[in-house]
């Protein structure tokens, strides 16, 4: 028991959000360097010792991508319901209420209008801290609405994905969001407006299997885990050792599943460039861009 307490004390103190600072110092989750919290935030949550990209709060992500003062929120009006009366270790309704209170938003996504280096976009950012960024009815609905409104307002759509997949507590209603978001993106494509998807750590499950990998251009952040089923599940199923870096962004780039791995500090400029090029071409034509454009 004493040993267990000792291990518990050694855990890094790590806040998940700016709203809940967990001390002045944080440990890099990759190289374990002690980092001054303010420095880490100023460096866009990238470790200056090893370059590891820590997960980023939604507000910081929007501030990083949107031109100053340009973001106008669209999401927030739709609230999730517990249609199944789902109970696991605690009732879904209670779990939701607690996380809504902490996050200050009804569900795991924020959408809105913004400009990225002057390009008019609809920006959608998933919140991994909100029930693992899981996709329930509200996340699907907000994405569909953002895609439709982007179409009406002639905006490109930029999606920053971070998700553990479908929200189990909403059962089949959650899985239906895969189809809903896909159809909404088709509508955007029919208007020949660009859709750029940014996969961050982690992007998994039904989110990977639907809107996150449907971008005209798909970027990923360095070392992001991107998969349908996770490496542990696959390893236990096939009972074989997996190659190094399996299902990480760089691995998927080599396999042709994504278009580029973009360090966070370059992401805004790269998004603006690619949207500008697709707009200039007048088409969101998949494969029209050379790699690294
Ligand atoms: Zn580090």
DSSP, residue by residue, 99-126: HHHHHTSSSSEEEEEEEETTEEEEEEEE
Q: Which three-class secondary structure state does DSSP give residue 260? A: strand
Expressed in angstroms and rounded, the spacing between residue 37 Cα and the centre of ligand 1 is 13
Tell me how far apart the alpha carbons of residues 66 and 62 are, in angstroms, rounded to a whole number.
6
Expressed in angstroms and rounded, the spacing between residue 50 Cα and the centre of ligand 1 is 4
In percent, the amount of the chain with pLDDT more than 70 equals: 88
Expressed in angstroms and rounded, the spacing between residue 11 Cα and the centre of ligand 1 is 16
Expressed in angstroms and rounded, the spacing between residue 123 Cα and the centre of ligand 1 is 29
What is the fold, at CATH topology level, of the domain defined by 55-280? 2-enoyl-CoA Hydratase; Chain A, domain 1 (3.90.226)
Expressed in angstroms and rounded, the spacing between residue 113 Cα and the centre of ligand 1 is 33
* pLDDT tens digits, 151-187: 999 999 999 999 999 999 999 999 999 999 999 999 9
Res. 2: pLDDT tops 60 = no
Domain with CATH 3.90.226.10 in the chain: 55-280
**pLDDT at 22 (0 to 100):** 59
**pLDDT at 244 (0 to 100):** 87
Expressed in angstroms and rounded, the spacing between residue 53 Cα and the centre of ligand 1 is 8
State the average pLDDT for the chain.
Answer: 91
Tell me how far apart the alpha carbons of residues 124 and 74 are, in angstroms, rounded to a whole number.
10
Per-residue burial over 55-75, b if 16 or more Cβ lie within 10 Å, else e, is: bbbbbebbeebbeeebbeebb
Expressed in angstroms and rounded, the spacing between residue 35 Cα and the centre of ligand 1 is 8
Ligand 1 ion: nearby residues, β-carbon < 5 Å: 28, 30-31, 33, 47, 49-50, 52
* pLDDT tens digits, 36-91: 999 999 999 999 999 999 999 999 999 999 999 999 999 999 999 999 999 999 99
């Amino acid at each position: 028991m004493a040993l267990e307490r000792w291990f518990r004390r050694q855990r890094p103190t790590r806040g998940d959000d700016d709203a809940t600072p967990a001390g002045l110092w944080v440990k890099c989750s990759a190289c374990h360097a002690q980092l001054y919290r303010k420095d880490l935030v100023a460096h866009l949550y990238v470790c200056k010792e090893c370059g590891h990209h820590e997960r980023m709060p939604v507000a910081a992500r929007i501030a990083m991508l949107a031109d100053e003062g340009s973001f106008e929120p669209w999401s927030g009006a739709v609230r999730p319901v517990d249609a199944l009366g789902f109970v696991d270790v605690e009732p879904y309704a209670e779990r939701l209420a607690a996380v809504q209170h902490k996050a200050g938003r009804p569900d795991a996504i924020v959408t809105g209008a913004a400009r990225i280096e002057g390009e008019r976009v609809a920006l959608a950012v998933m919140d991994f801290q909100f029930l693992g960024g899981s996709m329930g009815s509200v996340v699907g609905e907000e994405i569909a609405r953002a895609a439709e409104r982007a179409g009406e307002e002639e905006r490109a759509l930029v999606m920053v994905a971070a998700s553990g997949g479908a929200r189990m507590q909403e059962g089949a209603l959650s899985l239906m969001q895969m189809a809903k978001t896909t159809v909404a993106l088709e509508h955007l494509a029919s208007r020949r407006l660009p859709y750029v998807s940014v996969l961050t750590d982690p992007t998994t499950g039904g989110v990977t299997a639907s809107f996150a990998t449907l971008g005209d251009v798909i970027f990923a952040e360095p070392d992001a885990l991107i998969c349908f089923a996770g490496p542990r599940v696959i390893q236990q199923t096939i009972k074989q050792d997996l190659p190094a870096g399996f299902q990480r962004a760089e691995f998927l780039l080599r396999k042709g599943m994504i278009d580029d791995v973009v360090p966070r500090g370059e992401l805004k400029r790269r998004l603006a460039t690619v949207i500008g090029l697709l707009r200039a071409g007048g088409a969101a034509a998949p494969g029209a861009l050379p790699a690294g454009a």
